[in-house]
A and B are shown apart, each in its own frame.
Chain A
């Protein structure tokens, strides 16, 4: 054995020594007093006592102690028993009784440890049943089977069965009255240092003890004067036993039961109290039966009370441990309970009554009040939020829906805070709901930050795409400027002539106007693409989108000698999108396609741009080229960042395109064609007539709000104030061709 292990073992022994020594210090006097009490009242011939406290003491000691200490407890118990009983019984009798006592305690201890792993709490009916099985039936039966032979061997009792039942009753009664007290003592004794003494509980305990002392004195220790006294006195202690059971659990009930039992024994021994019969045997039996039948229901009440107390404790601990604000409301909306977080929030002095609700308040009334106050204050948005919350709570309480969830923004003096509110129906006959409020500002702020970064990135990508197009765009602007200049110079020269050709001049001026408009539109298109604007999701006409994108790419297609064709399925619905961003994606795909065909023969340099409806009713844009296609090993990863097929390229274009499409709730993927080249598909959600109508409605409801995608995602709404009649007119004009 290594030195370290030897050291460790020494430490363990030392650590166990103190509880063992303390245990012995308590055990020996208790065993001594218990044996003296056992001598006090017993069946004269059989020798079994009414109550035998050493059984409870030894069982509790064995259950709580280490097995290697068992022998010491057993020796101590045997020693004390022998010492106290030798004066009354022959040695062989005492030895056999020792054997019975020891076997009984060992059986009970082994069974209790097997069932509960240590001293049981007895705070549930199943636990109480197992306890009874082990310590009230099996162990006493074992003890009785051995102990009952004693009178027979010594030839004092006529019946083994009579002797057995006396032994059994004595042990069973001890287990039911005193054992829970001892088990509770050894359970709590080990951590007595950390126990908090509650002053109110102590006062209550003292009051109970005093009441018990008075009642027991009256009931058992005074002389009986009339017959009705008997009934009254027999049941006198019952209310106090229930009090102990309900308020102090199985341990408290056991203490009270022990006091009552001892008082009854003392009374019977003195010849006072209700238990007075002709023979001692009858007195003992009557006493045992009454105590047994009292102890069982009292322990049951203690177990049920303990279970309830445990459940309530767990419920409060659970509520207190929740960081979210939690309130439990009944079916009428009255607040039954709130947790600490909710209480702190309510105490923070919020202006809105909805945020100040406490236990006992009417939550629905507070919500209604909030709606009316906010309406009066003219806070349109907040008032709509409160109305939504009210509607949600009402719908859950009325059983219309099982849960309701919403996210809202609360403007405070310093900065906005975001909360989610969840109302979850309580699955119980009385109904009601749990309202949970959580501060999600951190998540929301992170979300907004990501959204901002995404916007920034997509803007940069857009600028990059335009950079790629710069040559083509210069061409696009030079054409009208060239035409204007030539026309103007021609006109100037024509005006020098004697006979000015009015018709020709008018035609020239008309062309100048047309070309000037075209140049302005090119610039407007550029501005729209370069603008670092808010994302505006609105229904975009599919035909226009395809046409405008092709126009934007026109010069590039020409420059690269790519022939482009397009097809838009008839009656295609509009897509729900940010026009500029989707154009950016499609333009990017077209430019990629052009680049892929740069090495191709002129007959293969063909691009086909189509828009068709998917089976689910969404719109699929497909851009098909006649290049070399994608390397098969890259095709799955094309849309990941830094994956590129180009010699010079960061590989960010398609990943940004995917990010934009994903933010629109769409999909983008690529595939190689059966023949030459590849096709990239991009699916965007179509706008149903219903969705458009809903957007209009929301638009009217919240005219000032300006939500972005993150808000759309978080709230599950598609509300976009941009879709106002004026917003719909304001088109980001790309470059139309005359």
Chain B
């Protein structure tokens, strides 16, 4: 399985949570263009609701930190407390030096600072998904990521 849509193998499902519509849409477009299946959510609450419905759990979560109501970190804590084990990549415009450590401590697997190039993003997703699969240990990775 690759990240390209041309590959008939099973697509990697990415969830995007960002309060900024245009940012959210652009990330989804990018993921789609590279053959990933992507679903965008405008808030942490929306994402949590989707988990409660019957929708399948995504392979990876692209999460913005600075959001009103529920911040990214708060969502991450929610997920951890509920035992939802989605590898989370923080995608943020926050340039505070301590932010990265805070996010990693909260359980994120990667931390990307906006603006993010396609290569960087796809590499991070691949890494996160592979690591998650490896951590699930006994089963081999469900797919391999091809970056173009």
CB-CB under 8 A from B113, the residues of chain A are 478
CB-based nearest A residue for B21: A738
Are A481 and B114 neighbours in the complex by a CB distance under 8 Å?
yes
Q: Which of B7-15, B28-36, B81-89 contacts A (4 or more CB under 8 A)?
A: B28-36
CB-CB under 8 A from A563, the residues of chain B are 68-69
The yes or no answer to B94 lying at the interface (CB within 8 A) is: yes
Q: A471-B95, A485-B117 are in contact. Are A561 and B71 (CB under 8 A)?
A: yes
Are B115 and A471 neighbours in the complex by a CB distance under 8 Å?
no
Are A514 and B30 neighbours in the complex by a CB distance under 8 Å?
no
CB-CB under 8 A from A490, the residues of chain B are 26, 29-30, 32-33, 118
B73: min CB distance to chain A, Å: 10
Interface residues of B in 81-106 (CB under 8 A from A): 91-96
The yes or no answer to B22 lying at the interface (CB within 8 A) is: yes
Are B68 and A511 neighbours in the complex by a CB distance under 8 Å?
no
CB-based nearest B residue for A493: B33
Are A559 and B66 neighbours in the complex by a CB distance under 8 Å?
yes
Interface residues of A in 444-495 (CB under 8 A from B): 471, 474-487, 489-491, 493-494
Q: A493-B33, A738-B22 are in contact. Are A482 and B68 (CB under 8 A)?
A: no
Are B26 and A478 neighbours in the complex by a CB distance under 8 Å?
no
Are A481 and B115 neighbours in the complex by a CB distance under 8 Å?
yes
| Most A CB within 10 A of own CB, among B71, B114, B118 | B114
CB-CB under 8 A from B33, the residues of chain A are 489-491, 493-494
CB-CB under 8 A from B23, the residues of chain A are 479, 482-483, 486
CB-CB under 8 A from B1, the residues of chain A are none
Are B22 and A483 neighbours in the complex by a CB distance under 8 Å?
yes
Are B114 and A479 neighbours in the complex by a CB distance under 8 Å?
yes
Q: A483-B20, A559-B66 are in contact. Are A493 and B118 (CB under 8 A)?
A: yes
Are A479 and B93 neighbours in the complex by a CB distance under 8 Å?
yes
Are A493 and B68 neighbours in the complex by a CB distance under 8 Å?
no
| Measured CA separation A511–B92 after assembly (Å) | 19
| Measured CA separation A561–B70 after assembly (Å) | 8
| Measured CA separation A493–B4 after assembly (Å) | 11
CB-CB under 8 A from B95, the residues of chain A are 471, 474-475, 478
Are A487 and B29 neighbours in the complex by a CB distance under 8 Å?
yes
CB-CB under 8 A from B20, the residues of chain A are 479, 483
Q: A475-B66, A490-B32 are in contact. Are A559 and B26 (CB under 8 A)?
A: no
CB-based nearest B residue for A563: B68
Are B116 and A482 neighbours in the complex by a CB distance under 8 Å?
yes
The yes or no answer to A558 lying at the interface (CB within 8 A) is: yes
The yes or no answer to A301 lying at the interface (CB within 8 A) is: no
The yes or no answer to B27 lying at the interface (CB within 8 A) is: yes
CB-CB under 8 A from A618, the residues of chain B are none
Other-chain contact of B93, A482, A485, A515 (Cβ < 8 Å):
A482
CB-CB under 8 A from B145, the residues of chain A are none
| Measured CA separation A738–B24 after assembly (Å) | 14
The yes or no answer to B25 lying at the interface (CB within 8 A) is: yes
| Measured CA separation A490–B31 after assembly (Å) | 8
CB-based nearest A residue for B148: A493
Are A478 and B115 neighbours in the complex by a CB distance under 8 Å?
yes
Q: A493-B34, A558-B66, A558-B68 are in contact. Are A486 and B93 (CB under 8 A)?
A: no
Q: A494-B33, A508-B29, A559-B66 are in contact. Are A478 and B22 (CB under 8 A)?
A: no
The yes or no answer to B67 lying at the interface (CB within 8 A) is: yes
| Measured CA separation A478–B18 after assembly (Å) | 13
Are B66 and A482 neighbours in the complex by a CB distance under 8 Å?
no
| Measured CA separation A478–B26 after assembly (Å) | 13
The yes or no answer to A327 lying at the interface (CB within 8 A) is: no
Interface string of A489-526 (1 = CB under 8 A from B): 11101100000000010001001001100000000000
The yes or no answer to A575 lying at the interface (CB within 8 A) is: no
CB-CB under 8 A from B67, the residues of chain A are 558
The yes or no answer to A555 lying at the interface (CB within 8 A) is: yes
CB-based nearest A residue for B95: A474
B87: min CB distance to chain A, Å: 20
Other-chain contact of A486, B29, B69, B92 (Cβ < 8 Å):
B29
CB-CB under 8 A from B29, the residues of chain A are 486-487, 490, 504, 508
Q: A511-B22, A738-B22 are in contact. Are A489 and B117 (CB under 8 A)?
A: yes
Are A486 and B94 neighbours in the complex by a CB distance under 8 Å?
no
Interface string of A157-189 (1 = CB under 8 A from B): 000000000000000000000000000000000
Other-chain contact of A514, B22, B68, B116 (Cβ < 8 Å):
B22
CB-based nearest A residue for B5: A497
| Measured CA separation A484–B69 after assembly (Å) | 26
| Measured CA separation A559–B64 after assembly (Å) | 11
| Measured CA separation A486–B25 after assembly (Å) | 9
Are B25 and A511 neighbours in the complex by a CB distance under 8 Å?
yes
Interface residues of B in 37-70 (CB under 8 A from A): 66-69
CB-CB under 8 A from A514, the residues of chain B are 22
Are A515 and B118 neighbours in the complex by a CB distance under 8 Å?
no
| Measured CA separation A485–B30 after assembly (Å) | 9
Are B27 and A486 neighbours in the complex by a CB distance under 8 Å?
yes
Q: A478-B114, A479-B114, A515-B22 are in contact. Are A486 and B30 (CB under 8 A)?
A: yes
| Measured CA separation A239–B49 after assembly (Å) | 122
B21: min CB distance to chain A, Å: 8
Other-chain contact of B26, A511, A555, A557 (Cβ < 8 Å):
A511
CB-CB under 8 A from B21, the residues of chain A are 738
Are A475 and B94 neighbours in the complex by a CB distance under 8 Å?
yes
CB-CB under 8 A from A555, the residues of chain B are 66
| Measured CA separation A489–B33 after assembly (Å) | 9
CB-CB under 8 A from A474, the residues of chain B are 93-95
Are B71 and A489 neighbours in the complex by a CB distance under 8 Å?
no
Are A485 and B115 neighbours in the complex by a CB distance under 8 Å?
yes
Q: A479-B93, A559-B94 are in contact. Are A486 and B116 (CB under 8 A)?
A: yes
| Measured CA separation A668–B76 after assembly (Å) | 42
| Measured CA separation A223–B21 after assembly (Å) | 132
| Measured CA separation A60–B15 after assembly (Å) | 119
| Measured CA separation A493–B95 after assembly (Å) | 29
| Measured CA separation A221–B71 after assembly (Å) | 126
A105: min CB distance to chain B, Å: 104
A500: min CB distance to chain B, Å: 12
B40: min CB distance to chain A, Å: 12
Other-chain contact of A471, B30, B94, B114 (Cβ < 8 Å):
B94
B13: min CB distance to chain A, Å: 18
CB-CB under 8 A from A477, the residues of chain B are 93
Are B26 and A487 neighbours in the complex by a CB distance under 8 Å?
yes
CB-CB under 8 A from B34, the residues of chain A are 493
| Measured CA separation A555–B27 after assembly (Å) | 20
| Measured CA separation A266–B9 after assembly (Å) | 155
CB-based nearest A residue for B69: A563
Are A486 and B26 neighbours in the complex by a CB distance under 8 Å?
yes
Are B22 and A561 neighbours in the complex by a CB distance under 8 Å?
no
A565: min CB distance to chain B, Å: 12
| Measured CA separation A511–B25 after assembly (Å) | 9
A474: min CB distance to chain B, Å: 5
| Measured CA separation A563–B68 after assembly (Å) | 7
Are B32 and A561 neighbours in the complex by a CB distance under 8 Å?
no
| Measured CA separation A480–B23 after assembly (Å) | 7
Residues of B with Cβ closer than 8 Å to A? 19-23, 25-27, 29-30, 32-34, 66-69, 71, 91-96, 113-118, 121
Residues of A with Cβ closer than 8 Å to B? 471, 474-487, 489-491, 493-494, 504, 508, 511, 514-515, 555, 557-559, 561, 563, 738
15 A-B pairs in the complex with CB atoms less than 8 angstroms apart = A474-B95, A475-B92, A478-B95, A485-B26, A485-B117, A486-B23, A486-B115, A486-B121, A490-B29, A490-B33, A490-B118, A493-B33, A493-B34, A558-B66, A563-B69
Known: A482-B115, A483-B25, A558-B19. 5 other contacts (CB 8 A): A479-B93, A483-B20, A483-B115, A485-B116, A486-B121
| 9 closest cross-chain pairs (CB), A and B | A478-B93, A482-B114, A486-B26, A482-B115, A489-B118, A475-B93, A490-B33, A493-B33, A490-B29
